[in-house]
Amino acid sequence: MWKRIIACIMIMLSLISISTLSYATIVDASKYEILNPEKSSYATEEKVVLINGKAPSGTEVTIDVYGTTDIAIDGTTNTGRKNFNLDKLPAEDDYILLATEKVSSGNMGLFQKQMDLVKGVNKVVINFDVEGIDPVEIIVYVYNRSRIVTREAIKTTILPLLK
């Protein structure tokens, strides 16, 4: 009888130890990747960004888009402007949450979402909602091409006036 009790206790201990090992899963970080945009910070004229990447099938991906508080309308003067750019990034307090979208990766393990941006510095945070995988931050500076003064524009407009 003692042999049966000891055998039952041994079986119960082995079942308990096996079940705890099954919960300890290691996350493979190579399965979670952002394919587009390829750079962590860049400047563009486009006010729309396409975000795509790969994650295991069925993974919920959260995409947050933040804009800066330093937004001025063309033609207005704002003497308190901070003039953020890629060299002078805003502090965390200067960002405003513009949009939050949830996307699920498909059967092939790919996801994509098109997000609208504002002029100025935008921060896109992509969170895979998986423990062990850090969120990815992408800084996108959207500029107005017509307001940029190039060297050629100076030569053609100012230099003839000086002659």
Is the Cβ–Cβ distance between 116 and 72 less than 8 Å? no
Could you give the 3-state DSSP secondary structure of residue 60?
strand
Report how far residue 112's alpha carbon sits from residue 129's, in angstroms, rounded to the nearest whole number.
16
Give the domain extent around 118.
29-162
Q: What is the CATH number of the domain that holds 129?
A: 2.60.40.10
Provide the domain count of the chain: 1
* 91 residue type, one letter: A
pLDDT in tens, 104-160: 998 998 999 999 998 888 999 999 988 888 899 999 988 887 655 555 555 555 555
Asked if 138 and 40 count as a contact pair (C-beta separation under 8 A), the reply is: yes
| Predicted local confidence at residue 73, as pLDDT | 47
Please state whether 55 falls in left (phi above 0), alpha (psi between -120 and 50) or beta: beta
pLDDT of 83-117, one tens digit each? Answer: 776 777 888 888 899 999 999 998 998 999 999 99
Give 30's contacts (C-beta < 8 A, 6+ positions apart): none
Calculate ∠ Cα 103-104-109, nearest 5°: 130
pLDDT at 88: 79
What pLDDT score does 8 carry? 79
Spatial distance between the Cα atoms of 71 and 94, rounded to a whole number of angstroms: 10
For residue 54, is pLDDT > 90?
Answer: yes
Q: Note whether residue 18 is domain-resident.
A: no
**In this structure, is residue 109 part of a structural domain?**
yes
Which tens digit of pLDDT belongs to each residue from 33-43? 999 999 999 98
Q: Is residue 1 part of a domain?
A: no
DSSP state of 50: E
- Residue of 136, 150, 129, 141 lying closest to 49 (CA atoms): 141
> Would you say residue 13 lies in a domain?
no
Q: How far apart are CA 126 and CA 30, in angstroms?
A: 16
pLDDT given for residue 152 in this prediction: 59
Contact criterion met (CB below 8 Å) for 90 and 122: no
Within a domain: 11: no
